[in-house]
Amino acid sequence: MSTLARKTKKAKVGTSRMGLMDYIIFVILTLGALSILVPFWNVIMISFATQKEYAANPLLMWPKDPTLASYKALFADGSIGTGYWNTLKLMAAGLPLSLFLTVSMAYGLSRPKFPGKKPIFFLILFTMIFNGGIVPLYLVMRDLHLTGSLWAVILTGSFSVFNMILMMNYFQGLPESLMESARLDGAGEWRILASIVLPLAAPIMATIALFYGVAFWNSWYDAMIFLRKADQLPLQNVLRAIIVESQTNASNATSVGQGVAQSFSTGMKMAAVFVTMVPIMAFFPLLQKHFAKGVLTGAIKT
């Protein structure tokens, strides 16, 4: 009914001509989108330009003689490569672990009843509104002898109550009769989870895997706290060292004198930004679809 009504409205709208207001809206929205796209474009173009050309024209929109010099210098430095490798290790260990923890607990909690379900669920929800904060977490990690190891970062990021609840809601929507008939055939809960529930859960698995994937890709705070050695740092922290920390040094340096030679040119910095951003860009169509679904079913209804 309502889709029909929407269709008739769409048809009507399509035939009527553009008014003044349509042009105003068009211009405002286009300017807004440009304010987002131009900085990205500028960054990418600088990474392909020579240092000389950028210095002459910061408004660079198209380099006259594009070069890969910045990328060559960046990879020759090696820290980005190490960062990539560490982030890949983080995800290779973190994704399976986080999916295992999330799926098992979500399926357990989606069971209609068992003694103690309410208090257990409350204790889990409570961690969403109250936490110890970073200081006790750091001390606990130190007591577990995990500081200085990538495992501290992997473990901290490998469970999210929010994601677990999203998945639990999905499981609760599956027909219980399927699980019941498997139970009558003598299958245990783990067996039912693996052979009946998971094959039906592909959409939510994709969504949650992307949630954890992006979170691991973008995480940097835990690594900054728990890791000590530079060669252990994930990609984001390497980028931070290249961009943010060198900027701090640069602004110190300007007060002393301009002469401090920086190891990273602007071109190399922008190449580092681009290299860190590329995987998100590649997965973006998928991310957009799944994240919107997540935020709409989760943030509002959960």
Partner 1 sequence: MKPAAISPGSSKGEQSKFKRLFVEIWKYRMTYTLLIPGLIWLILFSYLPMGGLSLAFKHYRASDGIWGSEWTGLENFMYVFRDPAFIDAVWRTLYVNIIKLFITFPFPILLALLLNELRMRRYKKVLQTAFTFPHFLSWIIVSGIIINVLAYDGFVNSLLALLGLPTINFLGSEQNFYPMIILTDIWKSTGWGAIVFLAAISGIDQEQYEAAQIDGATRMQQMFRVTLPNIMPTVTIMFILSVGGLMSSGFDQIFNLANAATQNVSQVLDVYIYRITFQSSTDFGFSTAVSLFRSLVNMILLLLADRAAKWMGGDGLFR
Interface of this chain with partner 1, residues 172 to 231, rule: CB under 8 A: 188-190, 193, 214, 217-221, 225
> What is the closest distance, in whole angstroms, from the C-beta atom of residue 45 to partner 1 in the complex?
10
Q: Name the one range near partner 1 by CB under 8 A: 62-70, 173-181, 199-207, 242-250.
A: 242-250
Q: Which is nearer to partner 1, 120 or 174 (CB)?
A: 120
Q: Which amino acid, one-letter code, is at 22?
A: D
Distance CA 135, CA 150 (A): 18
Site for partner 1, residues 265 to 284, rule: CB under 8 A: 266, 269-270, 272-273, 276-277, 280, 284
Q: Is 29 in the site for partner 1 (CB under 8 A)?
A: yes
Angle between helices 202-218 and 161-172 (to 10 degrees): 170
What is the full DSSP assignment across 250-280? HHHHHHH-TTPPPSS-HHHHHHHHHHHHHHH
Q: Is 77 in the site for partner 1 (CB under 8 A)?
A: no
Q: Is 56 in the site for partner 1 (CB under 8 A)?
A: no
Of the candidates 214, 236, 216, 212, the one whose C-alpha atom is nearest the C-alpha of residue 224 is 236
Q: Is 78 in the site for partner 1 (CB under 8 A)?
A: no
Question: Would residue 186 be called left, alpha or beta, if left means φ above 0 and alpha means ψ between -120 and 50 degrees?
Answer: left
Structural contact between residues 98 and 159, judged by C-beta atoms closer than 8 angstroms: yes
> What is the closest distance, in whole angstroms, from the C-beta atom of residue 69 to partner 1 in the complex?
18
Q: Name the one range near partner 1 by CB under 8 A: 62-70, 72-80, 84-92, 234-242.
A: 234-242
Total of residues contacting partner 1 (CB under 8 A): 105
Q: Is 289 in the site for partner 1 (CB under 8 A)?
A: no
Among 240, 264, 268, 290, binds partner 1 (CB under 8 A): 240
Q: Is 31 in the site for partner 1 (CB under 8 A)?
A: no
Structural contact between residues 204 and 170, judged by C-beta atoms closer than 8 angstroms: yes
> What is the closest distance, in whole angstroms, from the C-beta atom of residue 216 to partner 1 in the complex?
11
> What is the closest distance, in whole angstroms, from the C-beta atom of residue 66 to partner 1 in the complex?
18
Beta-carbon contacts of residue 164 (< 8 Å; ≥ 6 apart): 101, 102, 105, 106, 109, 124
Q: Which is nearer to partner 1, 36 or 202 (CB)?
A: 36
Q: Which is nearer to partner 1, 76 or 299 (CB)?
A: 299
Structural contact between residues 95 and 216, judged by C-beta atoms closer than 8 angstroms: yes
> What is the closest distance, in whole angstroms, from the C-beta atom of residue 219 to partner 1 in the complex?
8
Structural contact between residues 163 and 212, judged by C-beta atoms closer than 8 angstroms: yes
Q: Is 36 in the site for partner 1 (CB under 8 A)?
A: yes
Site for partner 1, residues 94 to 153, rule: CB under 8 A: 100-102, 104-105, 107-109, 111, 114-116, 120, 123-125, 127-140, 143-144
User: Nearest 5°: phi and psi at 260?
Assistant: -70, 120
Q: Which residue is associated with the tokens 């530079």?
A: 230
Q: Is 18 in the site for partner 1 (CB under 8 A)?
A: yes
Q: Which is nearer to partner 1, 25 or 68 (CB)?
A: 25
Distance CA 91, CA 254 (A): 39
Distance CA 285, CA 277 (A): 14
Q: Which is nearer to partner 1, 261 or 300 (CB)?
A: 300
Site for partner 1, residues 142 to 161, rule: CB under 8 A: 143-144, 155-156, 158-159
| End-to-end alpha carbon distance in the chain | 28
